[in-house]
Structure 1
Amino acid sequence: MFQTVFGLPAHPLLVHAVVVLLPLASVSSIALAVVPRWRQRYAWPVLFVTLGGVGAAVVAKIAGEDFQEKLKQNGVDNELIQKHAELGTTLQLWALSFGVAVIALVVAGRLADRERSADGPGVTKTWRRISVVVAVLVVGLAVMTTVETVRTGHSGSEAVWKGIGS
């Protein structure tokens, strides 16, 4: 499906979007989680970067599976590639969870802002409490997504330089 781009293997090209967008989304979403007033201004750009990173992770995983199959057909099969593929699957799950949490942060943040603007007697603080819980979840998932991005990228580099490239 996603085997080549301009005659080059797609996977090594696509991973560049993952290693740039996911950590950028992580740092940006942590900023939104920690500084709620920034949500009004930066929620949409952070959401788009996050969805771009998550989408890139999914597409890179699909392209990686195609690339791995092509390598096997050419007689290249080693444990480093398999380890990288397993970490890619884990990263995809973390990235998807992170993406859902950022969407929840944006939605809960908007509802908390509406609740805050309607502050007065009888107004509950439900969405404000929910947005705090979601913010904590986003921070944790952002950190784990970045850690998994680094681990997966490093294992891919090892597969090239200690495996295929040697």
Structure 2
Amino acid sequence: MLLPLAAAGTLALAVVPAWRRFGVPVALLATASTALVPVATRSGEALAGRVGQPAGDHATLGGQLLWFALPLAVLVWLLVLADARARAPARASLSRGPGAAARGLRAPDAPGFRADAAPARPGRALVTVLAVLAALAALAALLQVYRVGESGARSVWGDVAAAQVR
């Protein structure tokens, strides 16, 4: 249940920039849910060993879930970090001490000084691209969770539903 919650949180971060202040908890949730996917997979394999393999492709889809959770976790972290860096105020590292001119640093009163000459930071365009990629990863993870759950339900309840229709 954590992976859909992390995906929903990622979608919220991607769509509503003001909510990105909650980015670290969402990224931690995505990381935790990714770490728990192998635990769920092993649990399912242990259950299959006791009650038999599920019908259909539930086990195959469940085994693929990690490859949907990993990109989600990585992209939400990248989005959070890039957004924080883009929002941080520009800090010019200036030194008026001896040798500053030799190091290529200019004092604010020197000719040619530019206050905006801070080190390059990721721009809003990069944050937007990461938000789109994170949203796509979240949608893909949600789709895969749905597919895993639906195939599991069919493997358990498929015969019951077919018997009731007859």
Q: TM-score if structure 2 supplies the norm length?
A: 0.71
Question: Does structure 1 residue 161 correspond to structure 2 residue 160?
Answer: no
1:32 corresponds to 2:27: no
Mapped pair 1:21 → 2:17? no
Matched residue of 1:126: which SS?
Answer: coil
Deviating 4+ runs (over 6 angstroms) = none
Q: CA deviation at 1:104?
A: 1.3
Match of residue 133 from structure 1: 129
1:99 alignment partner in structure 2: 73
Distance 1:78 1:64, change over 3 A: closer
Report sequence identity in percent. 33
Output one character per residue of 1:38-61: Cα deviation in whole Å (capped at 9) or x when no partner.
222x11221232223223322101
**Structure 2 counterpart of 1:147:** 143
Q: Distance in 1 between matches of 2:73 and 2:48?
A: 26
Give 1:113 deviation, angstroms. 1.5
Distance in 2 (CA, whole Å) between partners of 1:58 and 1:66 is 12
By how many angstroms is 1:90 displaced?
1.8
1:78–1:163 CA contact under 8 A, matched in 2: no
Q: How far is 1:103 from its partner?
A: 1.4
Residue 89 of structure 1 corresponds to which residue in structure 2?
63
Deviation at 1:127, TM superposition (A): 4.2
Structure 1 residue runs of 5 or longer lacking an equivalent are 1-19
Check conservation: 1:26, 1:145, Cα contact below 8 A. yes
Match of 1:118 among 58, 78, 90: 90
Could you tell me how far apart the structure 2 residues matched to 1:103 and 1:31 are? 14
- Matched residue SS, 1:45: helix
Structure 2: distance between partners of 1:62 and 1:153: 16
Number of residue pairs matched?
A: 138
Distance of 2:66 and 2:159 partners within structure 1 = 23
Over aligned residues, Cα RMSD in angstroms? Answer: 2.5
Match of 1:64 in 2: 44
1:87, 1:148 within 8 Å by CA — same for their partners in 2? yes
Where does structure 2 lack aligned partners over 5 or more consecutive residues?
A: 92-114
Partner Cα distance (2:86, 2:154) in 1:
45
Do the aligned partners of 2:75 and 2:133 also contact (CA within 8 Å) in 1? yes
Counterpart code for 2:59: A
* TM-score between both structures, scaled by the size of structure 1: 0.71
